[in-house]
Amino acid sequence: MCTIHNQVFHQPFLKAQELVANGAIGEFTGMRLLLATPRHDMIDIKDHWYHKLPGGVIGETGPHIAYMSMPFLKNISSADIYAKNVLKHPWAPFDEFRIELEGENGLSSVTLSYTGNYWANLTDVIGTEAMLRIDTERMLVIRQNLKDLRYMSIAGSSLSTALQSARGFASNVFKVAIGKEKIGTKVVIEQFVQSITNGSRPPVTAEEGRETVRIVEMIVARYKEKYAT
């Protein structure tokens, strides 16, 4: 058996980890995550199974934000949460969440939204010299480091972003054309099979899976503490 932390095995997420390790953003200071799920997919469904989870929808999406923070945010020790009820469904007490995770080297600020009619999956990794935007819908990672607000600097930054997007798009098209494009779940499964064959370390260890559960339980505990009624 193997835990599947699928989001961090998408190619742009793997590339971002490599860039951060090589100093592309300077010193890591924090990150932001946005995960938006269309309301028709879960929150509008009265009898959806996630209502029975600890923390409701947080129990469904919480593991993603936990393990997506773990590669960058070290030793996550505390969590806070803010919740709002926008859609006013009687079976779902809250549908908009803001979550803060604190680690020894920075903060992870999370938006979980279930009130819109769209999907979104964006991660910003923030450093002292630059930031990375990881877009796992379009499978792109963009480095941004606008140094000042002069017109030429803004134009140069815009051009750099456009070129990075164009190169990433072209690479994705090529990979799809030759059958080399792999989503995170497929990567984890392939590496897990290889680990069984070779007797090597699995792509996600049991300890990493347990750490994800610990973080989610910490979030849910704070959620219940603040919004028990």
Establish if 110 belongs to a structural domain. Answer: yes
Establish if 122 belongs to a structural domain. Answer: yes
Establish if 1 belongs to a structural domain. Answer: no
Distance set, CA 185 to CA 4, 8, 75, 224 (Å): 7, 9, 25, 31
CATH of the domain at 127: 3.30.360.10
pLDDT averages per 10-residue partition of the chain, 229 residues: 94 96 97 96 93 90 96 97 96 95 98 96 97 94 92 91 91 81 91 96 96 97 90
What's the pLDDT score for residue 173? 83
Distance set, CA 118 to CA 7, 34, 35, 40, 114 (Å): 18, 12, 10, 10, 9
Whole-structure pTM over 0.85, yes or no?
yes
Which residues have C-beta within 8 Å of that of residue 83, sequence separation ≥ 6? 93, 94, 96, 97, 98, 223, 226, 227
165-213: per-residue pLDDT in tens?
999 889 888 887 787 778 999 999 999 999 999 999 999 999 999 999 9
Cα 108 from Cα 219, distance rounded (Å): 13
Mean pLDDT of the chain: 94
Number of structural domains the chain divides into:
1
Give residue 92's domain range: 6-226
The number of beta carbons lying within 10 Å of the beta carbon of residue 200 is: 10
Establish if 101 belongs to a structural domain. Answer: yes
Establish if 210 belongs to a structural domain. Answer: yes
